[in-house]
Amino acid sequence: MEEAKHFIGGEWAASSGGDPIPVVDPSDGQPFTTLARGTAADIDAAVQSARRAFDGAWGAASAAERGRVLHRLSLLVGACHEELAQLEARDTGKPLKQARGDAAALARYFEFYAGAADKLHGETLPYQNGYTVFTIREPHGVTGHIVPWNYPMQIFGRSVGAALAAGNACVVKPAEDACLSVLRVAELAAEAGVPAGALNVVTGYGHEAGAALARHPGIDHISFTGSPETGKLVTQMAAENHVPVTLELGGKSPQIVFADADLDAALPTLVSAIVQNAGQTCSAGSRVLIEGSIYEPLLERLAAAFNALRVGPAQADLDCGPLISAKQQRRVWDFISDAQHDGIAMAAHGEVIAQAPEAGFYQAPTLLRDVPPTHRLAREEVFGPVLAALPFNDEAEAVALANSTPYGLVAGIWTRDGARQLRIARRVRSGQVFINNYGAGGGVELPFGGVKHSGHGREKGFEALYGFTVLKTIAIRHG
């Protein structure tokens, strides 16, 4: 595969310095291409190019025109669906069917924001006699987007789709571990009519290109998805320029299962919510809290489901692919070995198929039972296919356990009791709550984001558009 370059000002651009970064296929551990290693000078070139587009053609485009461009991009992504899915599967290791789902979601993000672009407006406000007062929503200007490796296409689409629809010009720093699909989509965006400079992608390491973007004085807003530690660093750098930041930092999301739940409906979702993308999902359902009276029988069914899971290369299209990198594989394995060292019982685990290349970054999905609520496995994000099971006795204890981590992104509640559904939904501290489902199929329309260490600000839906605009109040005194 040809070496990848940055996409700046509508053109491919080589790095201004530094050795290229090898891109490794997680399915076999082998490098297959390289990325440009972005420098502060590359970021600066991208920010300047974005500013020119914002002050020029893109800033002058009407909301309806921005919508038409995004609609064309959605159609182009649809036409390249299989190519993008294959690229994403190779780059991230995710099973092909999941990569195909991600490509479909990317097209849907652009479709949704295409339709929303000219429906974003301010309000008229009742005020003193003799005045007419109204608000208008304006784009920030140049927005920075730091994207992680777990869902490169989807997270790019949700962030950049909303920012462009609102009229911003974007500079994107995708993750060094996986970003080939993002580069291809930037090229498609130019084909769809996004003017040169309105969408720039600079690849490279976080501490170099990422940090240069976060601290650049020419950026007006930053959207970051990744770890809480890096999110804090990005916030500190952006604060130097008083730049607003939206953070999406993952979670330790609970699924709470009561004895009256429809367990046949819950079971496959409890499994898929942690196995999807090999558990490398910010909203993964990584804790299952089970009412005492059904703890043993449900664990038995969960164990049988985990034992049947098969793991292999992206192209084998099994339940689970490899993890993204050797570093992530070590991190996940450390959690499991710590748990075993602390006497936590492994209830079940899946199987890595014999044909999986030895150098790939595989980890069998693992179910751990009776995890003490204070153990790191019950509190910290593993970002791997590891499910922690904990029993509870009553509703109050279920809520206390659900809220007992530093995170608050998503919660699932499984019960047939309608009043209980609402009581718990109101008491759980998280940005999204799903009742008798988990994730609602991902809906791009549904505002998404966290509380506590899961971050702040909202992505997806109309809320994301509000986040990518600033409100201006205009008061006219006419007597």
Give the 3-state secondary structure percentages of the chain, helix then strand then coil, rounded to 5.
45, 20, 35
Q: Is 172 in the site for ligand NAD (CB under 6 A)?
A: no
CA 146 and chain centroid, separation = 11
Q: List the helix and strand counts (H, then E) for the chain.
A: 16, 22
Considering beta carbons, is residue 70 or 209 the nearer one to ligand NAD?
209
**Rounded to whole angstroms, how far apart are CA atoms 36 and 269?**
39
Q: Is 276 in the site for ligand NAD (CB under 6 A)?
A: no
Considering beta carbons, is residue 52 or 452 the nearer one to ligand NAD?
452
Interacting span for ligand NAD (CB under 6 A) from 67-75, 248-256, 339-347, 445-453:
248-256
- The size of the chain, in residues, is 479
Q: Is 92 in the site for ligand NAD (CB under 6 A)?
A: no
Considering beta carbons, is residue 392 or 448 the nearer one to ligand NAD?
448
**Rounded to whole angstroms, how far apart are CA atoms 160 and 155?**
8
Q: Is 274 in the site for ligand NAD (CB under 6 A)?
A: no
Q: Is 381 in the site for ligand NAD (CB under 6 A)?
A: yes
**Rounded to whole angstroms, how far apart are CA atoms 65 and 222?**
24
Quick count: other Cβ atoms within 10 Å of Cβ 304? 11
**Rounded to whole angstroms, how far apart are CA atoms 123 and 447?**
21
Which of 248, 291, 381, 459 does the annotation list as catalytic?
248
Cβ-in-10-Å burial (0-12, 13-18, 19+) of 265 comes to exposed
Q: Is 277 in the site for ligand NAD (CB under 6 A)?
A: no
Q: Is 437 in the site for ligand NAD (CB under 6 A)?
A: no
The string over 341-354, giving b where at least 16 C-beta atoms fall within 10 Å of a residue's C-beta and e elsewhere, is eeebeebbbbbbee
Beta bridge partners of 469: 139
- DSSP-derived pairing of the beta strands 351-352 and 345-349: unpaired
Candidates 53, 162, 175, 194; binder of ligand NAD (CB under 6 A) is: 175
Which of 88, 282, 291, 381 does the annotation list as catalytic?
282
Compute the least distance from the CB of residue 253 to ligand NAD, in Å: 11
- DSSP-derived pairing of the beta strands 169-173 and 469-477: unpaired
Q: Is 98 in the site for ligand NAD (CB under 6 A)?
A: no
**Rounded to whole angstroms, how far apart are CA atoms 23 and 26?**
9
Task: Give the nearest residue (CB) to ligand NAD.
Answer: 206
Q: Is 459 a catalytic residue?
A: no
Candidates 13, 211, 311, 371; binder of ligand NAD (CB under 6 A) is: 211
Compute the least distance from the CB of residue 324 to ligand NAD, in Å: 8
Which tokens is 221 given?
């807003």
Q: Is 278 in the site for ligand NAD (CB under 6 A)?
A: no
Which tokens is 157 given?
């689409």
- The residue ranges of DSSP E strands in 83-141, in sequence order, are 124-125, 131-139
Q: Is 285 in the site for ligand NAD (CB under 6 A)?
A: no
Compute the least distance from the CB of residue 326 to ligand NAD, in Å: 13
Considering beta carbons, is residue 201 or 309 the nearer one to ligand NAD?
201
439 to 468, contacts with ligand NAD by CB under 6 A? none
Compute the least distance from the CB of residue 276 to ligand NAD, in Å: 13
Q: Is 381 a catalytic residue?
A: no
* Residues annotated as catalytic (active site), given as ranges: 248, 282
Chain contacts with ligand NAD (rule: CB under 6 A): 146-150, 173, 175-176, 206-207, 210-211, 214, 225-227, 230, 233-234, 248-250, 282, 328, 331, 381, 383
